[in-house]
Amino acid sequence: MPLPITSEVVAERLRSYPHDNYLYLGSIIKGVALSFAAGALLKMLPDCALWWPRLLIWITSLAAILVT
């Protein structure tokens, strides 16, 4: 049988709700950014000699997204 919810538990959930939502939103934004990055990479790969400066920026951005 579950334990009854106290007012302290409800108050803590209300305080942590915005924080948790920002974390979830950040994860969704990272996923969208990675999907756009994959599309850009697919366009750059056939002509690597032409796109190598942008490819370096792409790799740096990917590393930054993965670290965060």
List, for residues 14-32, the tens digit of each pLDDT value. 888 888 888 888 889 888 8
Mean pLDDT for the chain overall = 85
Q: Taking the model in full, what pTM does it have?
A: 0.61
pLDDT reported for residue 21: 85
CA distances from 34 to 4, 21, 30, 39, 50 (A): 42, 20, 6, 9, 22
Q: Is 55 exposed, middle or buried (0-12, 13-18, 19+ CB in 10 A)?
A: middle
Cβ contacts of 54 within 8 Å, gap of 6 or more: 44
Q: How many Å apart are CA 51 and CA 55, to the nearest integer?
A: 6
Cβ contacts of 51 within 8 Å, gap of 6 or more: 44
